[in-house]
Structures are given as structure tokens and as C-alpha cells.
Amino acid sequence: MADMIQLAAASTRTATLEARGLSRAFGKTTAVDGVDIQIVPGEIHALVGLNGAGKTTLMRLLLGMVHADAGTAVVHGHEVATCTPDDWARVGHLIEAPFAYPELTVTENIVAAARLHLLGRADAELAARQAVTALALTQWAGRRARVLSLGNRQRLGLACALVHRPSVLVLDEPTNGLDPRGVLVVRKALRDAAERDAAVLVSSHHLDEVARIAHRITVMHRGVVIGHLDPGGVDVERRFFDMVYAAEPELPEGVQ
């Protein structure tokens, strides 16, 4: 009931992150085709689809990492091309593989991420200590990033995305490589972000996991948004595949 109330309240709010008719092709392959999506404050919005559905490309378009062939990406009410350093300072992201400076320690990497998002030295160090605790990295805080396991590198990447308490959070497969404890840690971190009014966009192949935390689920297939799923519904996975199979003959002409 609480999630339904929160979603109803969110639906009346202005989107913090938005795609308006976004399209992008790579050669003859259309990766994203006319996508519209809105993520509002206080919402965890999940993006699901098979490999090659266009989820990562859409996230890159929303963050200005690649240029759109058509359409507009909007962050904090501004088109990405006109966003200022202050706009980007309120964005956190982890796209595909987590990045870290290999010779810096876990804590030093998180402090660097906070500083890059315009936190002062003292605030960055305090925020880094809090992020180390929140992402269960205390045991590795003084170790260099190059010696971390895949799961701990993932948690470090998430800590760097979250350390400055962003108002927009974009995470591509955030539970990739994590053990069950790590999945629980990430789940709590995403809920905490939404509770402090961040707009959260997360992609995943794991329908059962996103159904536990998402307020809305958008389904992509071959670069097109083909529908939405109710996170609280019955047999989400079956409905997902039914939707994908039903969409195959309805795709726009020319989409590969």
C-alpha cells in the first residue's frame, strides 16, 4: 500500500530525467527508436529487456555519453547539451563496467568521486566514510582497487555513484557480479536513494529482483518501448516474455 501511495504521488510530479523521442542508430542497426520515458523524484524506474534491447544505449543517451540522431534527453529540466557542471554534479551513474583508479584505495576512489561532484574536501571524506559503510566495503576500505574481486569492484562503483547523494541516479545492471549479501546491500541503497527523493533509473535482466524494488517497469525490445509491467503483479517473468513475443511482428519497419 505504501508503494502504491508513493507511486500515485510521484505520477503528479515533474520528471527529473526524461527521454523525448530518442533515437540512435549505429550503421544500419537501430539501437534506440523513438523512446519516450520519464523518471520522477522518489521513483525507482526499472528498464528491462533481452540482450541488445537498447537499454544501455538509452542510458548513455540520457547521460549525454552518445549523441542522439533524433529526439531530446532532459536532465533536471535542461537538455543534456545545455546542462551545467552544477546539473551534472547532482547525477550519479554506473554504466556497464565500474571505473576505479587501480592504484588508489577504495576510500581514495570514493573521495575522488565525491570531489568530482563538487563536494569540498571535508564533506567528501565524510561522505566517503558513510558510503563505505552503506555498501559494506569497510573490510576493503584501505585496499587498492586493483586487488578487488569483481563483486567488490561493483560495490565500489556503486559507492562512487551514490557518495554525493545525487538527485538523479542511473545504474546499468547494478547487481552484476554480486553475491546475495551484495544484492541486499544494493537493494537497500536504491530504496534509500528513492526515499530521499532521487529519481532512479535501473536496468536489469533479473525480473524477480527489480520487481522487489521498482515502482514502475518499462519493457524494451529491439530499441522500442513495448509496454510496462506491474511490479506487484503475478508471474512477471511470463508476462514479460508474452509481451516480447507479441511485439515481434509489430516492430517498426527497418528495425534490425
pLDDT at 206 (0 to 100): 81
Supply the DSSP string of 31-99, one letter for each residue. EEEEEEEEE-TT-EEEEE-STTSSHHHHHHHHTTSS--SEEEEEETTEEGGG--HHHHTTEEEE-SSPP
Domains detected in the chain: 1-88+204-256 (3.40.50.300)
Query: Can you tell me the distance from the alpha carbon of 22 to that of 64, in angstroms, rounded to the nearest whole number?
Result: 12
Among the ranges given (66-80, 109-123, 228-242), the one the predictor scored with the smallest mean pLDDT = 228-242
- Reported as a pLDDT band with limits 50, 70 and 90, residue 245 is confident
| Interstrand relation of 224-229 and 216-221 (parallel, antiparallel or unpaired) | antiparallel
Helix (H) / strand (E) containing 189: helix 180-195
The helix/strand/coil state of 219 is strand
Residues 156-210 pLDDT 10s:
999 999 999 999 999 999 998 899 999 999 999 999 999 999 999 999 888 888 8
Which comes out higher in pLDDT, residue 75 or 2? 75
Residues 83-111 pLDDT 10s:
999 999 999 999 988 999 999 999 999 99
Residues 100-158 pLDDT 10s:
999 999 999 999 999 999 999 999 999 999 999 999 999 999 999 999 999 999 999 99
Residues 32-58 pLDDT 10s:
999 999 999 999 999 999 988 999 999
How far the first Cα of the chain sits from its last, in Å, is: 41
| Interstrand relation of 78-79 and 70-75 (parallel, antiparallel or unpaired) | antiparallel
Cα–Cα–Cα angle for 240, 65, 250, rounded to 5 degrees: 30
Which comes out higher in pLDDT, residue 91 or 15? 91
Q: pTM for this structure? A: 0.89
